[in-house]
Amino acid sequence: MADAQARANQLQEAIDTYDKAIALKPDDAALYTNKGVVLGKMGKTAESQAAFKKAASINPAAAGQNFYNLGATLVNSGHAADAAEAFKQAIAADPNFAEAYYQLGISLSGSPGTIPEAIKALQKYIEIGKSAEQVEVAKQLIAALQPQDAGKKKKP
């Protein structure tokens, strides 16, 4: 029912329904994940983070996806640095989570101090990513982030 309410943009009603379901099945990680997605849509970033973290603690096998969802919520609310940390947690939970590398690279690319780490994440995405379009974007972003004289030897 909560999923249908969320699709109908009845977001508060969906949250109320998720809360009732959680009261009945407090160990169901999917309920917390879905609640976190809806809270993110509502702009309730802190509550969304708590829901994703709870889901990750209940189901460590799905922790990568939950931390990725948390990162996406943080990106959407303008918190790129916090999002990068969530994407790192997603990668720690699942080292083959290609999308987390892509989003980590994007999140880190805006600050000069994190550009080397952004390039490394994007290179890993190029190795394991499945979206040809995103692989191309990653290549272009790496080219834009690298110094123009990278790879050229300086004359003595």
- Structure confidence by residue, pLDDT tens digits, 73-101: 888 888 888 899 999 999 999 999 999 99
- Asked whether residue 51 falls in the same domain as residue 123, the answer is no
The identity of residue 25, as a single letter, is K
Per-residue model confidence (pLDDT) at position 49? 86
Q: Are residues 74 and 112 in the same domain?
A: no
Q: Please state the rounded mean pLDDT for residues 3-11.
A: 92
Report d(CA 58, CA 119) in Å as an integer: 33
Together in a domain, 104 and 131: yes
Considering the domain architecture, whether residues 5 and 62 belong to the same structural domain is answered as yes
The structural domain count of the chain equals 2
**Does a structural domain hold residue 22?**
yes
The pLDDT of residue 148? 56
User: Are 75 and 2 in a shared domain?
Assistant: yes
Domain span at 48: 1-79
pLDDT at 41 (0 to 100): 86
Q: What pTM, to 2 d.p., does this model score?
A: 0.76
What's the CA angle centered on 94, arms 88 and 97, to 5 degrees?
80
pLDDT of residue 90: 93
Q: In 120-141, which positions are buried (b, 16+ CB within 10 angstroms) versus exposed (e)?
A: ebbebbbeebeeeebbebbeeb
Residue 114 falls inside a structural domain: yes
